[in-house]
Structure 1
Amino acid sequence: MDNPKKGTSRRDFLKTSGIAAGALVGGGVIGGLVGYNTKGGNGKLKGGQSGDPASKHEMQTRGLMFFQNPEEFNVLSQATERLFPEDELGPGAIGLGVPYFIDNQLAGNYGSNAKEYMQGPFFAGEATQGYQSRLTRAEIFRQGIALMDQEANKRFDKNFTDIEGGQMDEILTDFQKNKIDMKGVSSEFFFKLLRQATLEGAYADPIYNGNANMEGWKMKGFPGHQMAYINVIEDEKFQVIEPKSISSMQH
C-alpha cells in the first residue's frame, strides 16, 4: 500500500482529479490508473497476498463460478488490485471482492455475450465504436490473463503473482497502450474491459458479490438503495446516511 506521507497514491489521483465523484458509483470507465503509483510497491496487499497461504486458500475456494484454475483467478486478483489498490481510505479490489464479482459475471450473460449480436462480418473497430470482436468476454479475459502471466515469465522469469507491483504496472500499461499481441481482439480493448469490470465490482450492489460490506459506497458517501429520503429531503445540512443494499429490501 502506498504510504500517504510519501508521494501520490492512485486513489489520491482519483480524488484530486474529480474522477472520484458520484459518476463512478455507476461503474463508469476512467483512464490513467495504471502507472500512477509513484512508489512502485509490490501490490500484494492484506487479504490478497500471494505469499499468504490462508488468504490464497480463501481466494481459491470462495464460490468461484467461472475460473476452474486457481492460478488464473490469482492473476486476475492481483491485476485488479493494481487498478484499484488498498490505501488509507479503505480496501482495494481484493478486499472489496472484485475478483469474485468478475468471476460471477464471466460465468453469466456478460461473459457469454448472450444478449448481444455476435455474428460476422468482423472488422477491427474504431476507438469510438462498441464491441467488435468475434470472441466473447469470457474468451477475452481468459486470453488476457494467460498473456499477463506469459509476459511476466518472459520479462522477469516469474509468474505474474510473484513479481513486484511496479512490474505488474509495466505489463498492464503495455496492455493499455496496445503493445501486447492478442488474437481476435486488441490488448487495449481487453484492458478497458478489465478496468471497467474492476470499477463496477468495486461500486456495484453487494448482491452481485462485489463491493463487500458496501465499503466501496462508504468510501464515496453513497447511500445505496434507500426506500425514501422524505425525512431528510428538506434538511439543508449534508446527510450522512448508512448505505443499504438491494438485499435489505427483500426482507
Structure 2
Amino acid sequence: MPSTEPTVTRPLRRSFVKGLLGSTSFWMVGGHAHWAEALAEESKQSYHPSFFTSDEYRLLESATERLFPQDQHGPGARALGVAEFIDRQMETPYAQGDNWYMSAPFVQGPANLGYQLPFVPRDLYRKGLQGLEAYTRQQHGKSFPDLPVAEQEAILTALEGGSLSLGDVPGRVFFEQLRTNTLEGVFSDPLYGGNKGLGGWLMLGFPGARADFMDWVNQDGAAYPFGPVSISGETA
C-alpha cells in the first residue's frame, strides 16, 4: 500500500492551483461551474459500480468530494469521476494484492516496517466504508453523505489524525488510502475512469500525452498554448 504523509486537503489543493491564474490553461476553463455540473451529471447517468454497493459508492463520492471539493478553481472529485476510478481499481491485481506478501502473522510494528494489516486495498475499502457508515449512524443518526459538510470534514479530520478507528481498520490508514486514490483519480489519464473532461490536467496546465514538444523546447518562459490530450486522443 502506498505510504504518504497526509496533508490538509484544501491547502493542498490551493498549493497546486495557485500558479494557474495567469496561465492559458486556467482561462480555458472559463465558466467552469457549468462545466463541472455537466461532468457530474454525465458521470451520474453513465456509470454503475461493479465492486461497491450503491450505498458504498454514494459514501465514496461524498468522502472524495470533501478531499477534493469543487471550488472557484474548477470541478471536484465527484464531477471528475474519482469514485468511478476507485471502483474500477478494485477489480485490478493492485486492489486484490496479487503482488503483496499476505501470509500471517500480522503484527503491527514500527512505522518503518510499512503496512502490516491483513487487508488488501479492496478489503480495506469495504471494511473502512462499512465502519464509517456505522460510526456516522451511531454518532449522528445519519449516513455520511447526508451529514452537513462541516461534520463530514470533522470526521475526515479525525480519521487523518488517527483519533478515529473504523473497527479493525485504523482511521489514519483508511484516510491515507482514500486520499492517495482520490488524487490518482483526479490526475490520472481518463482511460482509468477519472479526470473526466481532462479537468484535473486543465487545472494543472498539464499537456497530457502529446507526442511532440520539439517546437517548445527552447522557448523558455513561453506559455504553452495547447490544452491537454489523453492517451486515447481525447482533448479538452
Q: TM-score, normalised on structure 1?
A: 0.75
Q: Aligned pair in 2 of structure 1 residues 177, 19: CA closer, same or farther (>3 Å)?
A: farther
Large movers: runs of 4+ above 4 Å: 15-22, 45-49
Q: Distance in 2 between matches of 1:21 and 1:146?
A: 39
Q: Which residue of 2 aligns with 1:26?
A: none
**1:113-192 equivalent positions in 2, closer than 5 A:** 113-192=97-176
For 2:111, what is the secondary structure of its paired residue? Answer: coil
Query: 1:233, CA displacement in angstroms?
Result: 1.4
Q: Aligned pair in 2 of structure 1 residues 203, 20: CA closer, same or farther (>3 Å)?
A: farther
Q: Aligned pair in 2 of structure 1 residues 244, 58: CA closer, same or farther (>3 Å)?
A: closer
Higher helix share: 2
For 1:161, what is the secondary structure of its paired residue? Answer: helix
Q: How many residues align?
A: 211
**1:32-181 equivalent positions in 2, closer than 5 A:** 59=44, 62-67=47-52, 69-181=53-165
Moved more, 240-249 or 135-144: 240-249
Alignment of 1:207 onto 2:205? no
Amino acid at match of 2:224: Q
CA contact (8 A) 2:208 2:229 kept: yes
Q: Distance in 1 between matches of 2:110 and 2:37?
A: 40
Query: 1:14, CA displacement in angstroms?
Result: 3.0
Provide the alpha-carbon RMSD of the alignment: 2.8
Amino acid at match of 1:239: Y
Amino acid at match of 1:246: I
Q: Which residue of 2 aligns with 1:244?
A: 229
Amino acid at match of 2:101: Y
Q: Which residue of 2 aligns with 1:30?
A: none
User: Percent of pairs identical after alignment?
Assistant: 33
CA contact (8 A) 2:127 2:169 kept: no
Amino acid at match of 1:168: Q
Q: TM-score, normalised on structure 2?
A: 0.79
For 2:232, what is the secondary structure of its paired residue? Answer: helix
Alignment of 1:227 onto 2:211? yes
Query: 1:96, CA displacement in angstroms?
Result: 0.3
Q: Which residue of 2 aligns with 1:3?
A: none
Amino acid at match of 1:14: L
Amino acid at match of 1:162: D
For 2:216, what is the secondary structure of its paired residue? Answer: coil
Structure 1: gaps spanning 5 or more residues: 1-8, 23-44, 50-54
Cα deviation 1:109-154 (Å, max 9, x = unaligned):
1221112222222111433443221111111111111122112212
Q: Distance in 2 between matches of 1:17 and 1:151?
A: 32
